[in-house]
């Protein structure tokens, strides 16, 4: 049983490290590609900015959830 727990902990640590890299990459990608546009949108159209920001947050959550699920399957050897 301890061997399985150690394997799960190792897989979780690897997945967490990869997840952190992906979140940071996503942040800088959005900042680089959409930074100026979001700044002007926030300054001139607050309601539209709020809607776009919520869409970006939801999109990030869905995409990273899919990546996390895939990583868990690959790291734990459970493929479809």
Mind listing the pLDDT tens digit for each residue in 7-34? 888 878 887 888 888 889 888 998 999 9
pTM summary value: 0.68
Structure tokens at 8: 């799960």
Beta-carbon contacts of residue 56 (< 8 Å; ≥ 6 apart): 30, 34
Taking the C-alpha atoms of residue 18 and residue 20, their distance in angstroms, rounded to an integer, is 5
* pLDDT of res. 1: 67
């Amino acid at each position: 049983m301890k061997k399985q727990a150690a394997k799960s902990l190792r897989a979780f640590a690897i997945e967490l490290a990869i997840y952190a890299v992906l979140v940071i990459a996503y942040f800088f990608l959005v900042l680089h590609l959409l930074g100026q546009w979001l700044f002007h949108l926030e300054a001139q159209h607050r309601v539209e900015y709020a809607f776009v920001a919520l869409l970006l947050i939801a999109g990030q959550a869905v995409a990273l959830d899919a990546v996390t699920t895939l990583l868990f399957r690959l790291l734990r050897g459970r493929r479809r």
